[in-house]
Chains A and B, each alone.
Chain A
Amino acid sequence: EVQLVESGGGLVQPGGSLRLSCEAHGFTFHDYWMGWVRQALGKGLEWVANINEDGGVKTYLDSVKGRFTISRDNAKNSVYLQMNSLGADDTAVYFCAKWNRAAALDYWGQGTLVTVSS
């Protein structure tokens, strides 16, 4: 059974940093692209970042470029999102998700809440 378990969310001050982690189970992790998607409270889904199978290709939402970094450790079946220079607009539930080979997010974690506030 595929499982994605996020951690690392919490309350952070504006301008601060946070690192989200997502541990994957139940599939051959190093064979798949992974991504992060966020959802502000009461709002829609927003794609944030993707990383390819070996970590050599990373893509980002324009508004997070230069502030967020996606990475992965295939030995640990984990993907990460380092978030710097956080602002109120970054407050959201962040979901880790697995891409299938038809460019669709077929499995999602339960999400981790990031709150940026003083």
Chain B
Amino acid sequence: QSALTQPRSVSGSPGQSVTISCAGTSRDVGAYNFVSWFQQLPGKAPKLILYAVTQRPSGVPDRFSGSKSGNTASLTISGLQADDEADYYCCSNAGRHTYVFGTGTQVTVL
């Protein structure tokens, strides 16, 4: 149950795209298409922004997209906006109904 590895921080200017990686293993990210992503604003509960690798919940803009290759999943935020500034976490099924989160990435809009 080791945490998935994410970059500590990424940054971009408004309108640019940023990509956050989420590196796991063949026992979690690589084994299942059950990777989800969360956005967390300071002092708030996490908000689901992607699930099943690429699916967006209702109300989440299509600027947020996901992908997976092997043991690594990725979240891309296109057309970066000021209110995208937040912490982002990935989460993966790790087998037998257990789950593991990523280490978290702080996104800064320059």
Contact = CB atoms under 8 A, between A and B. Distances in A.
Interface of A: 33, 35, 37, 44-47, 50, 52, 57, 59-62, 95, 100, 102-106, 108-111
26 contacts: A37-B101, A44-B89, A45-B40, A45-B46, A45-B89, A45-B101, A45-B104, A46-B101, A47-B91, A47-B98, A50-B99, A52-B97, A57-B97, A59-B96, A59-B98, A95-B46, A102-B34, A102-B55, A103-B34, A104-B52, A104-B91, A105-B36, A106-B48, A106-B57, A108-B45, A109-B45
A104 B45 contact: no
A105 B47 CA distance: 9
B81 interface: no
Contacts of A57: 97
Contacts of A106: 48, 51, 57
